[in-house]
Amino acid sequence: MNFAYRLSVSAIALTMMTGASFAQDIQIQNSEWWQNAGQKFDGVTLRGVTESTPASNYVADVLAPKFEELTGIDVQIETTSWDQMYDKAIKDMEAKTGIYDMVYIEQDIIYAYLSRNFLVNLTKALDENAELKAPEYSEENFTSFVENFRGEGGGLYGVPMEAFIKVYLYRTDLFNDPDVQAAFKEKTGKDLKPATTHADYAEIAEFFTEYGKANDMDLWGTTAQAHTGHPASWYEYFESVAPTYGVYNWGIDASNNYAATVENGGTMNSPEAKEALKWWLSMRDIAPPESVQSTWTEVATTFAAGRAAQGLVYGENAAWIATDEEKSRVVGKVGVALPPLEPGVMEEAESGEGYIGYYDGGAFGLPVTSKNQDAALLFMQFMALPEVQEDWAAAGSRITLTSTYDTAKVMEVDKELGGYYSMLRDDGKLFKGAPEYPFHRQVIEATSPTFYEILTGSIGPDEGLDMMAEKAEAELKNLGYRK
Amino acid sequence: MQSNRLGWILLAPTLVILFFFGVVPFLYVLWLSFHQWNPFALDPTIVYNGADNFRALVFDSGFLSSLGVTIAFVFFAVLSELIIGYLLAQAFLKEFPGKAFFRTIHTLPLIMAPIIVGSIWKLMTTPSIGIIPSLLDSWFGFDLNIGTSAVAAFTVTVVMDVWHWTPLVTLTLIAALVSLPADPFEQAQIDGANKRQIFWHITLPMIAPALLATVFIRLMDALRTVDEVLMLTGGGPGSATRYLGVHIFKEVFPKTNYGYGSAVSIIVLYLTIVSCWLLYVALIAPRNKKA
Amino acid sequence: MRRQRTWLYLLFWIVVSFLTLFPIYWLFVISVKPAVELFSTPEIILSSVYWKNYVDVIYDETLRGYMVNSLIISTGNAFLVTTLGFLACYALSRFNLGGKESIFFWTITNRMAPPAVFLLPLFLLLTQVYRIGDFTLLDTKIGMILVYCTFNLPFAIWTLRPTIDGIPKEPRRGGLRRRGERLDGDHRDRPAAGAAGPRRDADPHLGLRLERVSARRDADQLQRPHADDRPVRIRHDDRHRMGRDGGDLDVHPDPGADRLQPGSAPHRRRPDLRRRERMMR
């Protein structure tokens, strides 16, 4: 009891200290400009809604109070679940209620929002209101990820807030263990190193699953984001696995009347897509048993708990897996690599024809229905200031400004993380965000029931993909995109 | 004799609230169900499409399978709750030490929000790391996997619902049983009726109204279960637990298919009212005739 | 023999309570573990306690705001629903309102609607239609309280009505205000009912509250000579009149009983209280 009491008191003290240190660390240049700019918005409250992620929580907990301190504008950020966030934002913009002055736009929904003219053109708005333009803000500062949020005429419709790639994480402690290396060599005749092809990856995965079983460890050879009732599994297949087999943009050809089936010119049920699915299912079978109930969060936690030797993990989780002792058992034991590929895919990615994995992230957009657009413009620029980025990057493993790569904290984490940030900077161009479709969740929901049936085995992968391609086309016809 | 005007005045606030927050939205949904509306379609406006939504519904295998599993879910869940609830209510009529304490414990699940109930059961049943699969595996070598086995997932949703809602049935039935008079029972005993006969011919008819009210409430709540199941299985594996509530949720929230979702809702509402009415007729009407 | 049975009951209830409590216990176990420990083979017994989750919750300002919201909305809703539900039940039970049985059934249909789709019209109505001048229900707690009423009022009406029906309406002094007074009278005049009644083990729990109310309702019915002594035939007539939404409620002891269980026996003759005494013992 006494121990517990002491523990809780020290924990409280710790939390307060960390909270305090964050706020103090940020020094804003040219703070008079912000004070002056904020004066005319006295008493204004800005409301935002975002998904509850480490990066968003940093906005709500640190940046918003700091901004209020600076300008006197109150900023309330709601952090909620992914589904709820979309529902709230879309209802507000659709009904033109004007509750929110900032909405989180995940990269894959921007095209839907743009097609409905939900968002303010920030470039244009700042050009027209020169007195609102902060001297330190510049669109030049952003990384290439910003291109995802440009609309017609190159105008910017969202301030990038987080950005990450889905990488191949592996356990350096296992891969570098001489005994393990010897056992692997004996079994396969190869040296144990991160895989570059699907065959190698499968070999390593099988080896570690057997190794875990033989040594009575809770260890499996791969992760799998294979929930049988949540679209996370759909995303993993179409955005992380299929591209590595050369099936891009979900196998839907937008330029060809949104065809999905092979007979109409799509690739959703192409032989490559079927091979990719079978490979992924075989990996799912040797992944930890909880994988059939895993979304992105559980995959990260499974890896952090040391239950997988390698796997594809969203980069937003990479930093805490590699550094946070409270959440992770594999601190300092994590390496990153590019995802395993089929031959020829890398060449396509380098030429810009294809891509090797998922570049995800999001931005804050300003709804046209907002009643405080001018004040919101100030906060948008504030989030893009170089001086607020360093701690934000450390807290949320996100980088949206090129200058952030060279800050001390990021370089330090980069080392612990086996070069994740360097990879983001140097190889980021090989990854791609979701395809430019305004109908993401509609197609996903139309095809995912079949996909779940494939996962449970009640439909075979080949005929399952055939059915999905047909359903996708039917839904697109229904929505009016496919003629 | 009080004037009826006072009665209407007392009833008015309820009627007003239910009208503005119950009837008006219903009319809107009814109107929407005859339209095509998806804000992310090429044409994002609301377009009248006659009875197309309802026509599509009949051929929608997703909806039909969802209807099937929902009926199975409601049947097993509500029936188990009634039987267990009745047995527990009978047990509570006996006198034993700590009765009030046990009754308090027994009501605890009722105060939990559905979303929390869903989370608890998810944490308990996640394959390999949940406590229940882990214990079943080490004790009986049985592999409970709600991520792959349709039967397992279905069973867990039923057990979860039973755990959550049996206390409600128990409480209502205690109230009904306690207020039963003794005479008919004594008469029956004198006439030589056995326990089963007494239950079927005396207890059951006498607690029927309370039973009916409970079944009504449980039936309609089970038919629109969403949060718990969405949290636990997401409607999976496959579509094994994609109950109507979950189906509608997925049509309306992620897919923003408002017109079609409205049509499904209207049908579900209609089915609920009809099944409640059937129950009413089956349980109450024959006895009216007899009397 | 009797003693043995007591132990059996105790054992039975301990097992049942264990089953009831286990998920709640498990919720607690998980709440005092760091996230990373959830992803390992679980153990039933808690070996170490990790309070940081609680500290995080307590120090989370946003979450505290949500808790306050929940508290205000749920208590506000409970208060409103109880009040309005009571008034409505009183009206339904004591007044000869045309079509009231239909209204009664209609209220519950409001609870049957699948909620997902109805959120959209509610959102539109609250933000755009139901506005007075500049005031809208948008983003207000009262708006949420009213929305919840749609689902909770029918429930309250359906659970409260039998209770209100059970309280006899005395021609000279009807109404709830004097209920306590009248109950004192009960106690004095009819010790059997009072003593056998639930007061003995009254506790604030929901279970007992229901039980107590019902028991009293029964006791009241039993003690009404003009009702109990009437021949069966007259009750029959009452029922038919009730069926047409009419009937003189002033002389009717328990409209609810007749409406819902017209054919059943209990109220036709004067039952004695021995059975219940046995049950309560």
A40-79 per-position pLDDT tens digit:
888 889 999 998 887 888 898 889 999 998 898 999 898 8
Q: Report the share of chain A in percent with pLDDT over 70.
A: 95
Cβ–Cβ gap B127/A293 under 8 Å: yes
Q: Residue C123 in contact with residue A95, Cβ under 8 Å?
A: yes
**Most confidently modeled range among B128-132, B261-265, C153-157:** B261-265
Report the alpha-carbon distance of residue B234 to residue A113 in Å, rounded.
26
For residue C52, which residues of chain A lie inside 8 Å, CB to CB?
Answer: 11, 326
Give pLDDT, residue C125. 86
Residue C86 — pLDDT band, cuts 50, 70, 90? very high
Report the alpha-carbon distance of residue C278 to residue C281 in Å, rounded.
5
Residue C113 to chain A, least CA–CA distance (Å): 20
Cβ–Cβ gap A90/B145 under 8 Å: no
Give pLDDT, residue A166. 92
Cβ–Cβ gap B147/A87 under 8 Å: no
Average pLDDT over residues B195-220: 84
C38 at A interface, C-beta within 8 A = yes
Asked if the model's pLDDT at residue A27 lies above 50, the reply is yes
Residue C215 — pLDDT band, cuts 50, 70, 90? very low
Asked if the model's pLDDT at residue B111 lies above 50, the reply is yes
Handedness of CA A239, A245, A248, A251 (dihedral sign): negative
> Which among C37, C55, C62 has the least Cβ separation from residue A60?
C62
For residue B92, which residues of chain C lie inside 8 Å, CB to CB?
Answer: 207
C63 at A interface, C-beta within 8 A = no
Residue matched to tokens 């519904």: B57
User: Which residue type is seen at B50?
Assistant: G
Task: Tell me which chains share at least 3 CB pairs under 8 Å with chain C.
Answer: A, B
Residue matched to tokens 């197609």: A443
Give pLDDT, residue A445. 94
Reduce the DSSP state of residue C169 to 3 states and report it: coil
> Which among A291, A452, A478 has the least Cβ separation from residue B238?
A452
Asked if the model's pLDDT at residue A309 lies above 50, the reply is yes
Pairing of strands C131-132, A45-51: unpaired
Cβ–Cβ gap A15/C55 under 8 Å: yes
Residue A275 to chain C, least CA–CA distance (Å): 31
| Predicted TM-score (pTM) of this structure | 0.82
Asked if the model's pLDDT at residue A392 lies above 90, the reply is no
Asked if the model's pLDDT at residue C71 lies above 90, the reply is yes
Interface of A with C (CB under 8 A): 4, 7-8, 11-12, 15-16, 19, 60-61, 78-79, 91, 95, 97, 99, 218, 290, 301-302, 304-305, 307, 326-329
Comparing alpha-carbon positions, the chain C residue that sits nearest to A3 is C49
Handedness of CA B237, B239, B243, B247 (dihedral sign): positive
C-alpha distances (whole Å) from B161 to each of A228, B77, B114, B232, C155 are 21, 6, 9, 12, 19
SS (H, E, C) chain A: CHHHHHHHHHHHHHHHHHHHHHHHHCCCCCHHHHHHHHHCCCCCEEEEEEECCHHHHHHHHHHHHHHHHHHCCEEEEEEECHHHHHHHHHHHHHCCCCCCCEEEEEHHHHHHHHHCCCECCHHHHHHHCHHHCCCCCCHHHECHHHHHHECHHHCECCEEEEEEEEEEEEEHHHHCCHHHHHHHHHHHCCCCCCCCEHHHHHHHHHHHHHHHHHCCCCCECCCCCCCCCCCHHHHHHHHHHHHHHCCCHHHCEHHHCCECCHHHCCCCCCHHHHHHHHHHHHHHHCCCHHHHHCCHHHHHHHHHCCCECEEEEEHHHHHHHHHCCCCCCCCCCEEEECCCECCCHHHHHHCCCCCCEEEEEEEEECECCCCCHHHHHHHHHHHCCHHHHHHHHHHHCCCCEHHHHHCHHHHHHHHHCCCHHHHHHHHHHHEECCCCCCCHHHHHHHHHHHHHHHHHCCCCHHHHHHHHHHHHHHHHHHHCCCC
Cβ–Cβ gap C59/A12 under 8 Å: yes
Give pLDDT, residue B286. 57
Cβ–Cβ gap C59/A16 under 8 Å: yes
Domain ranges of chain C: 2-59, 61-166, 196-281
Report residue C145 as tokens.
Answer: 């309280």
CA dihedral C192, C196, C197, C198 (to 10 degrees): 160
Q: Residue C115 in contact with residue B224, Cβ under 8 Å?
A: yes
Cβ–Cβ gap C55/A11 under 8 Å: yes
Give pLDDT, residue A25. 62
Average pLDDT over residues A68-97: 87
> Which among B32, B134, B288 has the least Cβ separation from residue C41?
B134
For residue C264, which residues of chain B lie inside 8 Å, CB to CB?
Answer: 205-206, 208, 287
For residue A61, which residues of chain C lie inside 8 Å, CB to CB?
Answer: 62
- Residue of B259, B274, B281, B263 lying closest to B35 (CA atoms): B259
C-alpha distances (whole Å) from B209 to each of A18, A287, B177, C165, C265 are 60, 53, 11, 14, 13
DSSP letter at C172 equals: S
Residue matched to tokens 């033109």: A96
Report the alpha-carbon distance of residue B11 to residue B26 in Å, rounded.
21
Q: Residue A77 in contact with residue A49, Cβ under 8 Å?
A: yes
Cβ–Cβ gap B104/C207 under 8 Å: yes
Comparing alpha-carbon positions, the chain B residue that sits nearest to C211 is B175
For residue B103, which residues of chain C lie inside 8 Å, CB to CB?
Answer: 205, 207-208
Long-range contacts (CB closer than 8 Å, 24 or more residues apart) made by A249-253:
A249/A435, A250/A435, A250/A443, A250/A472, A251/A469, A252/A435, A252/A437, A252/A443, A252/A472, A252/A476
pLDDT tens figures, A436-465: 888 989 999 999 999 999 999 999 999 999
- Residue of B290, B226, B203, B263 lying closest to B73 (CA atoms): B226
DSSP letter at C176 equals: G
Tell how many helices (H) and how many strands (E) occur in chain C.
14, 2
B49 at A interface, C-beta within 8 A = no
Model ipTM value: 0.89
Residue A348 to chain C, least CA–CA distance (Å): 39
Burial group, residue C11, by CB count within 10 angstroms (0-12, 13-18, 19+): exposed
User: Which residue type is seen at B169?
Assistant: V
CATH level 2 (architecture), domain C61-166: Orthogonal Bundle (1.10)
DSSP string, B64-126: HHHHHHHHHHHHHHHHHHHHHHHHHHHHHHS--TTHHHHHHHHHGGGGS-HHHHHHHHHHHHS
Give pLDDT, residue A247. 95
Task: Tell me which chains share at least 3 CB pairs under 8 Å with chain B.
Answer: A, C
Report the alpha-carbon distance of residue B147 to residue B128 in Å, rounded.
11
Asked if the model's pLDDT at residue C172 lies above 80, the reply is no
User: For testing the chain A interface, which of B256, B258, B264 should be mutated: the one with the most A CBs within 10 Å?
Assistant: B256
Cβ–Cβ gap C39/A305 under 8 Å: yes
Cβ–Cβ gap A304/C39 under 8 Å: yes
* Lowest model confidence (mean pLDDT) among A9-18, A199-208, B182-191, B195-204: A9-18
Residue B150 to chain C, least CA–CA distance (Å): 22
Q: Which residue has the higher pLDDT, B96 or C230?
A: B96
- The average confidence (pLDDT) of chain C is 67
pLDDT tens figures, C173-207: 444 443 334 333 333 333 333 333 333 333 333 33
Asked if the model's pLDDT at residue C277 lies above 60, the reply is no
Q: Residue A91 in contact with residue A80, Cβ under 8 Å?
A: no
Cβ-proximal residues to C71 (8 Å cutoff; 6+ apart), any chain: none
Cβ–Cβ gap B107/C207 under 8 Å: yes
C39 at A interface, C-beta within 8 A = yes
User: For testing the chain B interface, which of C13, C131, C276 should be mutated: the one with the most B CBs within 10 Å?
Assistant: C13
| CB-defined contacts A:C, below 8 A | 58
Cβ–Cβ gap B235/A229 under 8 Å: yes
> Which among A16, A60, A99 has the least Cβ separation from residue C138?
A99
Residue C168 — pLDDT band, cuts 50, 70, 90? confident
For residue C138, which residues of chain A lie inside 8 Å, CB to CB?
Answer: 97, 99
Domains and CATH numbers, chain B: 67-255+263-290 (1.10.3720.10)
Report residue B209 as tokens.
Answer: 């109204």
* Strands (E) located in chain C: 131-132, 135-136
Asked if the model's pLDDT at residue B214 lies above 80, the reply is yes
B247 at A interface, C-beta within 8 A = no
Cβ–Cβ gap C36/A329 under 8 Å: yes
Asked if the model's pLDDT at residue C115 lies above 70, the reply is yes
Comparing alpha-carbon positions, the chain B residue that sits nearest to A456 is B148
Q: Where are the alpha helices (DSSP H) in C95-196?
A: 100-112, 115-124, 141-166, 179-189, 191-196
Domains and CATH numbers, chain A: 35-164+361-430 (3.40.190.10), 165-358 (3.40.190.10)
C62 at A interface, C-beta within 8 A = yes
Q: Which residue has the higher pLDDT, C178 or A97?
A: A97
> Which among B13, B265, B291 has the least Cβ separation from residue C113?
B265
Cβ-proximal residues to C1 (8 Å cutoff; 6+ apart), any chain: none
Report the alpha-carbon distance of residue A186 to residue A214 in Å, rounded.
15
User: For testing the chain C interface, which of A2, A329, A371 should be mutated: the one with the most C CBs within 10 Å?
Assistant: A329
C 124-163 residues inside an 8 A Cβ radius of A: 124, 127-128, 138-139
Comparing alpha-carbon positions, the chain B residue that sits nearest to A232 is B234
Give pLDDT, residue C136. 76
Cβ–Cβ gap B39/A455 under 8 Å: no
Q: Report the share of chain C in percent with pLDDT over 70.
A: 59
Give pLDDT, residue C119. 84
Asked if the model's pLDDT at residue A421 lies above 80, the reply is yes
Q: Which residue has the higher pLDDT, C192 or A218?
A: A218
Give pLDDT, residue A172. 94
**Most confidently modeled range among A6-15, A150-159, C125-134:** A150-159
Q: Report the share of chain B in percent with pLDDT over 70.
A: 96
Report the alpha-carbon distance of residue A447 to residue A329 in Å, rounded.
37
CA dihedral C237, C241, C242, C245 (to 10 degrees): 180
For residue C35, which residues of chain A lie inside 8 Å, CB to CB?
Answer: 301, 327
User: For testing the chain C interface, which of B21, B246, B262 should be mutated: the one with the most C CBs within 10 Å?
Assistant: B21
Q: Which residue has the higher pLDDT, B112 or C271?
A: B112
Rg of chain B taking only CA atoms, in angstroms: 23
CA dihedral A96, A100, A106, A110 (to 10 degrees): 30
Residue C2 — pLDDT band, cuts 50, 70, 90? low
Cβ–Cβ gap B129/A441 under 8 Å: no
Reduce the DSSP state of residue B194 to 3 states and report it: coil
B 111-170 residues inside an 8 A Cβ radius of A: 122, 126-129, 145-148, 150
Asked if the model's pLDDT at residue A271 lies above 80, the reply is yes
